[in-house]
Structure 1
């Protein structure tokens, strides 16, 4: 009996849910723009916003010198870089490229020899070559003597 009394309201609820779940018309969207047109619009807006600038080597060195002078006069590095109109990353990139490439751990702080010192250096190089040849001849002679004693020849 309890089942019969509960059956009526359940049937009514099922009928109302069916009415609520009736399909509704979907909202229509506008079609997408073709990709080529969208890319050209984006490219033109980007080009006008920030066009990459290429600096010559002379301009780079001038800007680096300007920054160095501002820093030595007591200004901060960040302010000097901003006043030069470049980014910090660009500054460090240029600064690293301006230094000659040296192996890590070796610093050549030797001064370049003058004219007389250069002549002495050339003379020492010639003597070094002569002594190397003399040593090589002596070692060949010893090697040949040892081969004879061992009977390898």
Structure 2
């Protein structure tokens, strides 16, 4: 009787060339890996109880921040004028604002607010000048019309 293992290993001549000519087109799938079991979460321990803080000479507390000073509109205008006067070729904006006791950013914010506040006043002045300009043009037109009429009379055209 033939051995069963030999029967499996012996190939028939018809099967061997067919297998060699037609390669498999589907890729082999890998066997899934077994997943590791998750460990139970560890209980959290407060940091204070976990490690006692080493006793080292304590650093002095940080200096308390000075309270913010609020400036009135009048004080702001005075400081802006003072800074504008001190700014020059030898003094920068940063130095001038430092001497005045405010930050450079505060200076620019105040300056922007002051320009915006003065804009309506400038607009009113501009409107008044335009109205005056209209009146002056009207007066000039009347005067030129009168002079033109007088010249026509003198020349006898009318």
TM-score range, shorter chain: 0.3 to 0.5
Which is higher, the Rg of structure 1 or of structure 2? 2
Structure 1 or 2: larger helix share? 1
Structure-2-length-normalised TM-score:
0.37
User: TM-score scaled to structure 1, two decimals?
Assistant: 0.38
